[in-house]
Chain A
């Protein structure tokens, strides 16, 4: 999924780079903590968060780049029924107008008959919903 956010990339990145910040900018995360007292910008840290619908997800930060405005993380535990889930969120400045091009993608394994449903649930329910709230946050 990809979107355009009406704010400079460094401002959008300030929200996203906080691996413990999901409750601040997504509509679906109720609360979040980093396990073991690690800093949320330490690669390898694990965020343990609860969704508004009650589900609990644990995700590990794999890469974080302030230079490329990019982070990668994997799912350790979730109720979604996905394996080998790795997602990347990347921002690119749009020089024309001081905006941000945001890309969010994931690769994972799942039962073949659930592919379409999960792609829809993750693409629309997570990534697009996240973009929509970032856009609302930075609405000019």
Chain B
């Protein structure tokens, strides 16, 4: 008996590779030696027992039967029924395994067979080199190829000439200022370069950071330039060296630099994640930035444990509500600060046991009273300057002050000695640092989608605007006329 084993590492996630390999008739698309192939009797190509009849480029003909398929173990087994090459009792097993550090896949391909005397070496070489190694290379080339977008991605229905910019619209900050500086105009999206992806966006998230970018409070753009940190849509095409996305994929992102207020965006692919089937694009656009922020704050910056007391400032805000919902689900006692009774009701409905209506940034005494004098184990602070002194007072011994935003103004410099009064830890985290590595981004995104699926996070989307009405969305957001997320629809 002859045994042939070959293995390789493919630079693509296991889901992508398995989606191809589990289809017993997909080899015509990616295997360079397969000329044509069909499944006999019109059976589905993942039906156990189905037979593929195919012709090789050298004219040989082979019939193979699918013997087993496991979506759990990513294994497929098949045998040759008859072939014009003398491979007898040929049974092959193909298995994929996930490379967990990096989005790669280990592919193991092995077979046993008998061959006519004297031809063993020749046939083993043919199977190992032409079929298996050729298959590895063919699949790699297939994944690299940027194919035209499928119909669902191309609203215009026209095929785009390779390399040409795509007609699109966007909203531009014409100069730093109020909502009136936002101008809607044509903004063609260039063809993606190496490492880039072009996305036809279907929903764009609006965040308060966009207001700071527009006004010039955060100098993240130089006008004229496009604001916006997050969106979802469908991949049109990808540039070279992009393995984790394919045309037609539903995707989303939340990342710097700004530029999301457009109908079609060309951008670096490494911050773009594929959406699970059960997350729609509007929800994703409303969720990514705020949801992933809550995810890393609660699981990475400070690992919230059951029984801890968590103080959430602006508890009825976009991130605040998510923090309350998730910290409550983790078993923490959640205290919040809000600016009105209406917001207190919202926070309470999201798991905040004690919403403090504190318009003057006085809350430390109430927090101490609610914790038998102990104070909060962790404070999630999006307020900044105005809450600084009270934060230090509201913390328990060895507590953690997480300053992730500065709605009331930037924090002044702080003396290390101010932290020694209670052995306080101060962290000043930024989402984009936690998501800079793709593996970490994927994990944080996965955790966020999982929290949505299990209803820990609840997205109630009430405010939708046409992309051209971005100025109106900003007016409503700044005028505090909205509750919950806002999205723009290109």
Contact = CB atoms under 8 A, between A and B. Distances in A.
Bound pair (A, B): yes
A94 to B, nearest CB: 5
A77 interface: no
B446 to A, nearest CB: 13
A10 interface: no
A101 B101 contact: no
A4 B10 CA distance: 11
Contacts of B106: 2, 4, 92, 94, 101
Given A113-B306, A117-B303, A94 B97 contact: no
A3 B133 CA distance: 21
B98 interface: yes
Contacts, number: 52
A94 B101 contact: no
B127 interface: no
A3 B101 CA distance: 6
B183 interface: no
Nearest to A104: B100
A47 to B, nearest CB: 25
Contact of A128 (B5, B8, B101, B305): B101
In this complex, the interface size class of chain B, counting residues with CB under 8 Å from chain A, is: 20 to 34
Contacts of A93: 7
A99 B9 contact: yes
B98 A2 contact: yes
Kindly name the residue among A1, A2, A92, A93 whose own CB sees the greatest number of chain B CB atoms within 10 A. A2
A24 B65 CA distance: 49
In this complex, the interface size class of chain A, counting residues with CB under 8 Å from chain B, is: 10 to 19
B362 interface: no
A101 B8 CA distance: 9
A105 B102 CA distance: 17
B251 to A, nearest CB: 25
B7 A96 contact: yes
Contacts of A101: 7, 9, 97, 99, 106
Kindly name the residue among B5, B6, B8, B331 whose own CB sees the greatest number of chain A CB atoms within 10 A. B8
B72 to A, nearest CB: 15
A95 B8 CA distance: 6
B108 interface: yes
B213 to A, nearest CB: 34
Contacts of A2: 97-101, 106
A55 to B, nearest CB: 19
A93 B108 CA distance: 9
B306 A4 contact: no
Given A92-B106, A96-B133, A103 B9 contact: no
Interface of B: 5-9, 97-102, 104, 106, 108, 133, 136, 303, 305-306, 331
Interface of A: 1-4, 92-97, 99, 101, 103, 113, 117, 128, 131-132
7 cross-chain pairs, A with B, having the tightest CB-CB distances, nearest first: A96-B8, A101-B106, A1-B100, A95-B6, A2-B100, A3-B101, A94-B7
